[in-house]
Amino acid sequence: MWRFLLILLAFPALADSVVATRTIRAHSLLSAEDMTLVAMDIPQALTDTTAAIGQETRVAIYAGKPILLEQIGPSAIIERNQIVPLSYSAGGLSILTEGRALVRGGVGETIEVMNLTSRTKVAGLIGPDGVLRVGPSF
Protein backbone atom coordinates (compact mmCIF):
# COMPACT_ATOMS: atom_id res chain seq x y z
CA MET A 1 0.00 0.00 0.00
CA TRP A 2 2.74 2.50 0.86
CA ARG A 3 4.37 1.93 -2.55
CA PHE A 4 1.14 2.98 -4.25
CA LEU A 5 1.09 6.21 -2.24
CA LEU A 6 4.71 6.98 -3.16
CA ILE A 7 3.89 6.57 -6.86
CA LEU A 8 0.95 8.97 -6.59
CA LEU A 9 3.04 11.56 -4.78
CA ALA A 10 5.89 11.34 -7.32
CA PHE A 11 3.78 12.57 -10.24
CA PRO A 12 2.21 16.03 -9.88
CA ALA A 13 -1.26 16.48 -11.30
CA LEU A 14 -1.38 18.51 -14.48
CA ALA A 15 -3.73 21.46 -14.52
CA ASP A 16 -5.26 23.01 -17.59
CA SER A 17 -4.07 26.44 -18.69
CA VAL A 18 -5.72 28.97 -20.99
CA VAL A 19 -3.76 29.99 -24.11
CA ALA A 20 -4.63 32.34 -26.98
CA THR A 21 -5.73 30.71 -30.24
CA ARG A 22 -4.80 33.81 -32.25
CA THR A 23 -2.97 37.08 -31.72
CA ILE A 24 -5.24 39.38 -29.72
CA ARG A 25 -4.69 43.13 -29.84
CA ALA A 26 -4.61 45.22 -26.69
CA HIS A 27 -8.00 46.65 -25.63
CA SER A 28 -9.95 43.81 -27.30
CA LEU A 29 -12.84 42.00 -25.66
CA LEU A 30 -12.16 38.27 -25.26
CA SER A 31 -14.55 35.67 -26.62
CA ALA A 32 -14.56 31.86 -26.43
CA GLU A 33 -12.99 31.67 -29.90
CA ASP A 34 -9.94 33.65 -28.74
CA MET A 35 -8.71 31.00 -26.28
CA THR A 36 -8.44 27.31 -25.60
CA LEU A 37 -7.43 25.03 -22.74
CA VAL A 38 -4.20 23.05 -22.93
CA ALA A 39 -3.18 20.24 -20.60
CA MET A 40 -0.19 22.04 -19.09
CA ASP A 41 0.42 23.71 -15.77
CA ILE A 42 1.66 27.17 -16.80
CA PRO A 43 2.47 29.36 -13.77
CA GLN A 44 0.11 32.36 -13.37
CA ALA A 45 -1.99 31.35 -16.40
CA LEU A 46 -5.77 31.28 -16.16
CA THR A 47 -7.26 27.82 -15.68
CA ASP A 48 -10.82 28.56 -16.79
CA THR A 49 -11.91 30.21 -20.05
CA THR A 50 -15.22 31.42 -18.59
CA ALA A 51 -13.33 33.77 -16.25
CA ALA A 52 -11.82 35.55 -19.25
CA ILE A 53 -14.83 35.80 -21.59
CA GLY A 54 -16.00 39.40 -21.84
CA GLN A 55 -12.84 40.76 -20.22
CA GLU A 56 -10.65 43.31 -22.03
CA THR A 57 -7.01 42.67 -22.82
CA ARG A 58 -4.59 45.19 -21.34
CA VAL A 59 -1.72 44.14 -23.65
CA ALA A 60 -1.32 42.26 -26.92
CA ILE A 61 -1.44 38.49 -26.39
CA TYR A 62 0.18 36.34 -29.07
CA ALA A 63 -1.14 33.06 -30.45
CA GLY A 64 -0.10 30.06 -28.35
CA LYS A 65 0.90 32.20 -25.35
CA PRO A 66 -0.79 31.81 -21.97
CA ILE A 67 -3.38 34.35 -20.87
CA LEU A 68 -2.40 35.71 -17.46
CA LEU A 69 -4.75 37.33 -14.95
CA GLU A 70 -2.82 40.63 -14.98
CA GLN A 71 -3.19 40.84 -18.78
CA ILE A 72 -6.99 41.17 -18.65
CA GLY A 73 -9.57 43.21 -16.76
CA PRO A 74 -13.02 44.74 -16.98
CA SER A 75 -13.87 46.85 -20.02
CA ALA A 76 -12.51 50.36 -19.69
CA ILE A 77 -15.08 53.08 -19.11
CA ILE A 78 -12.42 55.73 -18.51
CA GLU A 79 -9.79 56.51 -21.14
CA ARG A 80 -6.34 57.99 -20.56
CA ASN A 81 -6.43 61.85 -20.44
CA GLN A 82 -10.22 61.85 -20.01
CA ILE A 83 -11.62 64.44 -17.59
CA VAL A 84 -13.43 62.51 -14.85
CA PRO A 85 -15.44 63.53 -11.78
CA LEU A 86 -13.70 62.94 -8.43
CA SER A 87 -15.76 62.38 -5.32
CA TYR A 88 -14.33 62.66 -1.80
CA SER A 89 -16.47 61.81 1.21
CA ALA A 90 -15.44 61.65 4.85
CA GLY A 91 -17.93 61.94 7.67
CA GLY A 92 -20.32 64.75 6.75
CA LEU A 93 -17.86 66.33 4.28
CA SER A 94 -18.38 65.73 0.56
CA ILE A 95 -16.30 67.31 -2.22
CA LEU A 96 -16.86 66.92 -5.95
CA THR A 97 -14.18 68.10 -8.38
CA GLU A 98 -12.54 67.00 -11.64
CA GLY A 99 -9.35 65.20 -12.55
CA ARG A 100 -7.50 64.00 -15.63
CA ALA A 101 -7.14 60.21 -15.88
CA LEU A 102 -3.51 59.11 -16.21
CA VAL A 103 -4.43 55.58 -17.34
CA ARG A 104 -7.42 53.64 -18.70
CA GLY A 105 -9.63 51.74 -16.30
CA GLY A 106 -12.81 49.78 -15.79
CA VAL A 107 -15.41 49.53 -13.04
CA GLY A 108 -13.89 48.40 -9.76
CA GLU A 109 -10.31 49.24 -10.70
CA THR A 110 -8.10 51.72 -8.89
CA ILE A 111 -6.41 54.25 -11.17
CA GLU A 112 -4.33 57.40 -10.78
CA VAL A 113 -5.63 60.80 -11.81
CA MET A 114 -4.34 64.34 -11.57
CA ASN A 115 -6.59 66.65 -9.59
CA LEU A 116 -7.10 69.63 -11.93
CA THR A 117 -7.44 72.11 -9.07
CA SER A 118 -4.40 71.15 -6.97
CA ARG A 119 -2.32 69.44 -9.70
CA THR A 120 -1.60 66.53 -7.36
CA LYS A 121 -1.84 62.86 -8.23
CA VAL A 122 -4.49 60.89 -6.40
CA ALA A 123 -5.70 57.31 -6.68
CA GLY A 124 -9.34 56.37 -6.74
CA LEU A 125 -11.77 53.54 -7.31
CA ILE A 126 -13.90 53.67 -10.47
CA GLY A 127 -17.60 53.38 -9.71
CA PRO A 128 -20.23 51.99 -12.11
CA ASP A 129 -21.34 55.58 -12.80
CA GLY A 130 -17.82 56.58 -13.96
CA VAL A 131 -17.18 58.69 -10.85
CA LEU A 132 -13.81 58.14 -9.19
CA ARG A 133 -14.08 57.67 -5.41
CA VAL A 134 -11.00 59.12 -3.68
CA GLY A 135 -10.03 59.46 -0.05
CA PRO A 136 -10.53 57.20 2.96
CA SER A 137 -14.00 55.97 1.99
CA PHE A 138 -13.05 54.28 -1.27
- Cβ–Cβ < 8 Å for 108, 124: no
Indicate if 56 and 82 belong to the same structural domain.
no
Structural domain count, the chain: 2
CA distances to 63, 105, 116, 132, 137 from 108, rounded to whole Å, are: 29, 8, 22, 10, 14
CATH value at residue 101:
2.30.30.760
Residue 111: its pLDDT value, please?
96
Mean pLDDT, range 19-26, rounded to an integer: 96
Residue 90: its pLDDT value, please?
87
Indicate if 37 and 89 belong to the same structural domain.
no
Domain span including residue 96: 76-134
pLDDT at 6 over 50: no
Surface-to-core class of residue 131, CB atoms within 10 Å of its CB (0-12 exposed, 13-18 middle, 19+ buried): middle
pTM above threshold 0.85 = no
Indicate if 56 and 115 belong to the same structural domain.
no
Indicate if 15 and 33 belong to the same structural domain.
yes
8 or 60, which is more confident: 60
Indicate if 60 and 82 belong to the same structural domain.
no
CATH value at residue 50:
3.90.1210.10
50, 72, 94 - which closes a domain:
72
What's the DSSP call for residue 30?
Answer: P
